[in-house]
Amino acid sequence: MAVQQSVGPDPYFPANGDPRYRVHRYELALDYRPGPNRLAGTARINAIAGRAALPEFQLNLADFRIGRVRVDGRQPHYTHRGDRLRIRPAKPVRPGAAFTVEVHWSGNPKPVASPWGGLGWEELTDGALVASQPVGAPSWYPCNDRPADKASYQISVTTPSAYAVVAGGRLLTRTTKASTTTWVYEQSAPTSSYLVGLAIGKYQTVLLGDPGFGGVPQHGHIPAHLLPAFSRDFARQPMMMDLFQRLFGPYPFDEYAVVVTEEELDVPVEAQGLSLFGANHVDGARGSERLVAHELAHQWFGNSVSIADWRHIWLNEGFAKYAEWLWSERSGGRSAQQLAAAAHRLVSSLPQDLRLADPGRKSMFDDRLYERGGLAVHAVRCALGDDAFFRMLRGWTLLHRGGAVTTATFAAHAARFASEPLDEVLDAWVYGTELPPLPTQSMPPMPLAPPNP
């Protein structure tokens, strides 16, 4: 597993996260009542101080009522203002020492405000959904909300028995007592706070393909009336899993789940081991199949291999966009070269002022970042050739599995697989703003057996 990088405050979100310590594990016990939208929770957070003593530290948590805070079993002094829970332990935490924080909170969860609208916990007509990218995690639990601080999670959710609870990870137990059911999930792989997904609703669970297909259990959780359309729209996901494991390396988690809500979502949202789709992404005609591929690819690019801070988001979105093109190319659709040409035409008609390596907070989710990110990956593929390119990808996901990376990390890694320097390619596509000419492949794509039918 890659060692996580130690970085300072995120330049895009300096109020989120505390780089003076890192979290090893979260254990969350939640009780949620959908009718009144009432959440009560207890968090046990196991953390490790950095190189300096910690006379105080902070967690991010939205405007809930705090019932109790303890540090190593002792009552600290704390303040809770502006979505920051500032904690001063009875004794400073020694440099490099492990410590445990316990927080009890309750209230009515709601999304946190952001330039992109509300993020995090969203109350649905009948249930709830969590989609936290990039800074919505504090809307429902206390966390060190920075993408490089990755931890394991155990999440216990008690809710009325009519509702199913889906979280990323492995379902350990489901226990019904009177009118409520408690669901306990374990995510052992290092997970960024924004990638902790949760869905509460009235879902029917189905198995996607043979559980031995690709070696990864895959399940869908959908409203019963959407099952016929879902069965067609997601029928080829097991084939995607098979293809992506050959191209990118082994799937990095224990299993994979998709949830379709009753309501519409602007875009699907990835979480670790879990992707969330809206009812509008299910049409029975595979109209959103490229998005199915995109969200699955994020399990490698963004979730397992995470970014050190949000300046490097193109490493998530550019590779997921390119995975769409690879799926099309290898499943009988348009080639990556044809899709790159279409993306190039689109980007050429838009302002040329976006730098992939540091797009700025306002442009983190700009369409140009996705399209130009895919083009940058294609340019690297054209420069390396298929054999070296796919060896480079598999090495990237293996070397940095569970870790956090930067654009510079990627540039150094890709250079190891190049017969000639990649500086000009990366300077033009990643560090520059003007759109370079369309990259072209010197030979047809490397033959690869098509996905199993």
Q: Are residues 295 and 318 in the same domain?
A: no
Per-residue pLDDT averaged across 99-126, rounded? Answer: 96
Domain boundary among 127, 158, 193: 193
Shared domain for 248 and 397, answered yes or no, is no
Looking at the structure, do residues 140 and 214 belong to the same domain, yes or no? Answer: no
Q: What is the pLDDT of residues 144-177, one digit of tens each?
A: 999 999 999 999 999 999 999 999 999 999 999 9
Residue 209 within any structural domain of the chain: yes
- Alpha helices of 249-335 — where are they, by DSSP H? 289-297, 314-330
Which of 193, 212, 246 is the endpoint of a domain? 193
- 390 pLDDT band, cuts 50/70/90, is very high
Write down the catalytic residue from 295, 322, 324, 371. 295
For residues 12 and 147, state if they share a domain: yes
Q: What are phi and psi of 81, to 5 degrees?
A: -145, 145
Predicted confidence (pLDDT) per residue in 397-408, tens digit: 999 999 999 999
- The answer to whether residue 368 sits within a structural domain is yes
The verdict on residue 238 lying in a domain is: yes
At 23-67, the pLDDT tens digits run: 999 999 999 999 999 999 999 999 999 999 999 999 999 999 999
Q: What percent of the chain has pLDDT over 90?
A: 93
Check if the beta carbon of residue 296 is closer than 8 Å to that of residue 244. Answer: yes
295 noted as active-site residue: yes
How many Å from the N-terminal Cα to the C-terminal Cα in the chain? 34
**95 close to 49: Cβ distance less than 8 angstroms:** yes
CATH of the domain at 184: 2.60.40.1730
Cα(404)–Cα(148) distance, integer angstroms: 6
**Would you say residue 5 has pLDDT above 90?**
no
Domain co-membership, 28 together with 171:
yes
CATH number at residue 358: 1.10.390.10
Which residues are annotated binding-site positions?
A: 294, 298, 317
Active-site hit among 12, 141, 203, 370: 370
CA distance 434 to 348: 9
Extract the annotated binding site for Zn(2+).
294, 298, 317
Task: Please state, rounded to an integer, the average pLDDT across all residues of the chain.
Answer: 94
Choose the final residue of a domain: 299, 322, 346: 299
Q: Are residues 53 and 101 in the same domain?
A: yes
Which tens digit of pLDDT belongs to each residue from 175-229? 999 999 999 999 999 999 999 999 999 999 999 977 655 589 999 999 999 999 9
Q: What is the span of the domain harbouring residue 11?
A: 1-193
pLDDT band for 9, please (50, 70, 90 cuts): confident
The reply to whether 349 and 321 lie within a common domain is yes
pLDDT bracket for residue 2 (50, 70, 90): very low
Confidence (pLDDT) at 443 = 63
Same domain as 184, residue 105? yes
The string of pLDDT tens digits covering residues 287-341 is 999 999 999 999 999 999 999 999 999 999 999 999 999 999 999 999 999 999 9
The three-state (H, E, C) secondary structure of 186-255, written as one string = EEEEEECHHHCCEEEECCEEEECCCCCHHHCCEEEEECHHHHHHHHHHCCCHHHHHHHHHHHHCCCCCCC
Asked if residue 439 is part of any domain, the answer here is no
pLDDT digits (tens, 9 = 90+) for 321-330: 999 999 999 9
Question: According to the model, what pLDDT value does residue 452 have?
Answer: 42
Work out whether the CA dihedral 86, 91, 95, 100 comes out positive or negative: negative
* Together in a domain, 22 and 39: yes
445 within a domain of the structure (yes/no): no
**Considering its fold, how many domains does the chain have in total?**
3
CATH of the domain at 281: 3.30.2010.30
Residues 341, 267 share a domain: no
Other residues' Cβ atoms within 10 Å of the Cβ of residue 177 = 9
270 is catalytic: no
Q: Which two tokens stand for residue 424?
A: 């000009």
